Each structure stands twice: as structure tokens, then as C-alpha cells.
């Protein structure tokens, strides 16, 4: 309570006491009215790497996969959004905890505790998968932008977006860059509003979400594998752990030892809030993308959706201009967010694998090799758009590479985060370990099912 207010109460005559009490009541109401806003500000301040990692998962390639799920099978696979959420969140939480507790990224920990050839193979496949994804995403960004500005050429847009991404990563300070990514993640709400403008039957939506039909045909395993691959992706593992390290370095904890000592219970708790929020945000977007495309495109027999831009264009005559506009804006915003994450995660993995200097907090001249990998990945992805590579084939190649590397990396993540020699008292609990191994099993099963489906 303010000192002047207390003095006023003490000096007030009895006749004025009633007025003073009234003033106190007003002050109390003012404090209470501002409390929710303060809580919201504290919550927003807690969010960081987990939020941006979750949002980047819904890149244009992921949007295309979710759009295909809705347009080809209707509401049937809506259940994938809530059912994959705890799996995705548990794995990303393990990656973040590894980064915080050890003070090093995921690749550096694998390099220390396992055979180097495993890491080199995983990092190489990750680079290939991410590069194909970057190429497909740059093309999708260009096509989505042309939906809003048809006069712009695709080559101009592809080059422009590639240069924008490189300039942000190389010449922007990490603190400012992280802030850009954080605010860009809010663009995912565009898909929520897009679905709202699509005039959906929400009774049917909820029924397919919580009481799904689990009867599957072999051909549907390809789609399930694609959804799992784009939801629980290797590039997210490396990015998450490395961003936790970057955040600690930004706070002045330059040595590994200082970062390890800073991993207190309260820090771990805040990280969990961040990660679970980010993954919930990501799967919320997946849910509404599938729902919007199911309630409009599938309902009108439009099933030939190849890219995210195709989905946005197809929505327009059915759901109206607003749904179309929001969907297109979502593709552009998330694409600008996801492409740097794809390039950066591959660079973190490779630089940590070979013990090079790395980190977005460093200047270009301090980490030539780290930024060189980012530049190479971006340039190759850019060139893929000029050699006639089908974007769908690019996504298939990326999915194959991710399918090969994801189960291996997942096994290492669960083992590392369950090892007391690595994690000390911050090892996985029984529930986390169970979810981790369940995720490994499902990823292996989905991959095997997809391979079988290809030969049937």
C-alpha cells in the first residue's frame, strides 16, 4: 500500500474515515483488475525456444501434409492432433532438458556419449532432409505470396525470401532475432480464424476428434507416417536443445559449467511451461488446418491438393475471401519462421558434431563454419527451385531421410535423458520414459507400415 495512503488514513478525522475507506476500495479494485494482465505478461515472458520450435513445426511442408489429410480423408485424422501432442511435447521437453542440464546441445551430447559415426550419419541425413525441406518451403512461400500479389514473379520471391532469411540469421543479434521468431509464431492463429470462417459442423469435428474411427487401410499409413514425420521431426530435436543453450549464453553464462549450475528446478519448470505451450500451439494449428480443409475441400470433392498454396487457393470459392486470405497469410508467416530453423538446426548438428565454434550469438567472423553450413543449406535449397525439382518429390525425399534418422535420434534422446550420469537428478520420470519409448515404437511402426504400403 502506498505510504501517502497510510499517512492519509492515520491523519483522517472520524467523519472522513468513510471517504478514505471508499478510496481504499477503489485502489484494491484497480490492483485486482490489473492482476490478470500481469499474469499474462509473466506468462509471455516465460515463453521462448519452446514456442518458436513448436510454431516452426507447422512449416509450409507441414501445412501441405495436413491439408492433404483433410482434403483426402475429411475429418478422419483429426484425432492425430490431440493424440500426438503428448508424444511431441515429451520428446521436445527431453531435448530442452538435455540442453539446460548439460549446458550443451543435443549433437554435442551424442558426440560425447556415443559412437561418432552414428552422429555423423544422423547429421548428414538431417542436412539433406532440411535442405530439401528448405527448397520446398521457399517455393511454397513464393506461391503463397503470389496468391496475394500475382504481379510478383516466383524466381524473384524465392530469391528474396532466401536472402531475407540469411540476412536475419547472419547480421541480426540473437536477442533481436529470437524476439522476431517469438512474435512470428502468433501467425498460427490465422489457421484458427480460417477454420472459423469455413462454416464447419463442430459437432462432427468434435466427434472425429474424441471418438475417432481407428480402422485403417494400408494406403493410409503413408499419410500417418507423413503426419508423424512432420510433427515429430529430427530438426526440432537439435534446434530445441541448442536454443536452450543460446538462451543461457544470452544471460551471460558463457561456460558450460555456469550453464549446468543454472539448471535449477525453477528453470526446468519454466522450460516445461514454454515447451508444452509451444507444442500445444503447434498441434492446435494442425487441428484447424485439417478441419478447415475437411469441412470445405473434402466436402466438395476437392482432393488433389499438392501444396499449401493449392489449399489456400481452393478454399476461396468455397469458404470465402477471408478464409483464403488468412490461410495464405499463415503460410507466409510460418514459412519465414520455419526456414531459418531448418537451416539453423542442421548447422547446429554439424558444427557440434565436429566441435566447431557455433551459435547465432556469435558474429560471422567468429563462426565461419557454422554460418557456412547455414549459407550452403539455403543456397542448395534455393537452387532446387531452379532445376525443375517437383516440390512433392522434394517432400518425399525429406520424409524418407527423416524416417531413417528420427527413430535412431529418438532412441538416443530417451537414453541420454534417462541416464543419471548425464542428467543427474533431472533424469526422466517413469511417465516421461514410457511416453518416450512409446513414441519410438510408433515412429518405427508408422515407418514400417508406410514401406509396406509402398509395395502393396
List the CATH number of the domain containing 366.
1.20.1740.10
Q: In this structure, is residue 27 part of a structural domain?
A: no
Minimal CA–CA distance to 247: which of 179, 184, 188, 183? Answer: 179
Q: Which domain holds residue 203?
A: 53-455
In a domain, 44, yes or no: no
Asked whether 311 and 297 are in contact (CB, 8 A), the reply is yes
Residue 93 lies in a domain: yes
What pTM did the predictor assign?
Answer: 0.85
Length of the chain counted residue by residue: 456
The total number of structural domains that make up the chain? 1
Residue 367 covered by a domain? yes
Per-residue pLDDT of the chain (456 residues; tens, 9 = 90+): 555 554 554 555 444 445 555 555 655 555 555 566 667 777 888 888 888 988 888 888 888 888 888 888 999 999 999 999 999 999 999 999 999 999 999 999 999 998 888 888 888 888 988 898 898 889 888 988 998 888 999 899 999 999 999 988 888 877 777 788 888 888 888 888 888 888 888 888 888 888 877 777 766 777 787 788 888 888 999 999 999 999 898 888 888 899 988 888 999 999 999 999 999 999 999 999 999 999 888 888 888 777 777 888 888 888 788 888 888 888 888 888 889 899 999 999 999 999 899 888 888 889 999 999 999 999 999 998 898 766 666 666 666 667 667 888 999 999 999 999 999 999 999 999 999 999 999 888 877 776 676 666
Q: How far apart are CA 87 and CA 432, in angstroms?
A: 9
Residue with cell 513414441: 439
In a domain, 443, yes or no: yes
One-letter-per-residue 3-state SS of 68-107: HHHHHHHHHHCCHHHHHHHHHHHHHHHHHHHHHHHCCCHH
In a domain, 16, yes or no: no
Inter-axis angle of helices 308-319 and 321-354, nearest 10: 160
Q: Within a domain: residue 39?
A: no
Q: Is residue 18 part of a domain?
A: no
Amino acid at each position: 500500500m502506498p505510504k501517502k495512503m497510510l499517512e492519509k488514513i492515520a491523519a483522517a478525522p472520524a467523519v472522513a474515515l468513510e471517504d478514505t475507506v471508499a478510496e481504499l476500495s477503489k485502489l484494491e479494485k484497480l490492483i485486482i483488475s490489473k492482476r490478470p494482465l500481469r499474469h499474462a505478461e509473466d506468462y509471455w515472458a516465460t515463453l521462448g525456444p519452446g514456442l518458436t520450435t513448436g510454431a516452426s513445426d507447422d512449416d509450409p511442408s507441414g501445412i501441405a501434409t495436413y491439408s492433404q489429410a483433410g482434403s483426402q480423408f475429411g475429418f478422419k485424422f483429426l484425432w492425430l492432433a490431440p493424440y500426438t501432442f503428448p508424444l511431441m511435447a515429451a520428446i521436445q521437453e527431453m531435448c530442452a532438458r538435455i540442453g539446460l542440464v548439460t549446458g550443451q546441445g543435443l549433437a554435442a551430447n551424442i558426440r560425447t556419449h556415443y559412437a561418432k559415426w552414428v552422429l555423423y550419419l544422423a547429421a548428414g541425413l538431417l542436412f539433406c532432409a532440411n535442405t530439401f525441406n528448405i527448397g520446398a518451403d521457399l517455393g511454397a512461400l513464393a506461391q503463397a505470396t503470389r496468391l496475394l500479389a500475382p504481379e510478383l514473379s516466383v524466381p524473384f520471391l524465392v530469391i528474396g525470401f532466401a536472402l531475407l532469411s540469411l540476412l536475419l540469421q547472419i547480421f541480426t543479434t540473437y536477442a533481436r532475432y529470437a524476439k522476431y521468431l517469438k512474435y512470428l509464431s502468433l501467425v498460427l492463429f490465422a489457421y484458427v480464424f480460417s477454420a472459423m470462417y469455413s462454416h464447419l459442423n463442430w459437432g462432427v469435428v468434435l466427434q472425429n476428434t474424441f471418438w475417432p474411427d481407428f480402422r485403417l487401410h494400408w494406403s493410409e499409413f503413408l499419410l500417418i507416417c507423413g503426419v508423424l514425420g512432420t510433427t515429430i521431426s529430427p530438426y526440432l530435436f537439435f534446434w530445441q536443445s541448442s536454443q536452450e543453450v543460446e538462451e543461457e549464453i544470452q544471460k551471460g553464462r558463457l561456460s558450460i559449467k555456469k550453464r549446468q549450475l543454472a539448471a535449477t528446478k525453477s528453470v526446468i519448470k519454466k522450460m516445461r511451461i514454454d515447451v508444452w505451450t509451444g507444442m500445444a500451439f503447434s498441434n492446435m494449428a494442425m487441428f484447424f488446418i485439417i478441419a478447415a480443409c475437411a469441412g470445405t475441400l473434402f466436402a466438395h470433392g476437392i482432393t488433389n491438393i499438392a501444396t499449401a498454396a493449392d489449399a489456400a487457393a481452393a478454399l476461396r470459392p468455397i469458404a470465402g475471401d477471408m478464409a483464403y486470405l488468412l490461410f495464405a497469410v499463415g503460410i507466409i508467416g510460418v514459412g519465414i519462421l520455419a526456414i531459418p530453423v531448418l537451416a539453423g538446426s542442421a548447422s547446429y548438428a554439424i558444427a557440434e558434431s565436429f566441435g566447431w565454434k557455433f551459435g547465432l550469438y556469435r558474429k560471422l567472423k567468429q563462426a565461419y563454419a557454422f554460418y557456412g553450413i547455414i549459407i550452403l543449406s539455403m543456397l542448395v535449397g534455393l537452387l532446387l527451385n531452379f532445376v525443375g525439382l517437383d516440390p512433392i518429390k522434394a517432400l518425399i525425399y525429406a520424409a524418407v531421410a527423416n524416417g531413417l534418422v528420427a527413430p535412431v535420434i529418438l532412441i538416443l534422446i530417451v537414453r541420454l535423458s534417462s541416464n543419471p550420469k548425464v542428467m543427474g537428478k533431472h533424469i526422466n520420470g517413469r511417465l516421461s520414459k514410457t511416453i518416450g519409448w512409446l513414441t519410438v515404437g510408433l515412429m518405427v511402426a508408422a515407418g514400417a507400415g508406410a514401406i509396406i504400403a509402398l509395395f502393396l
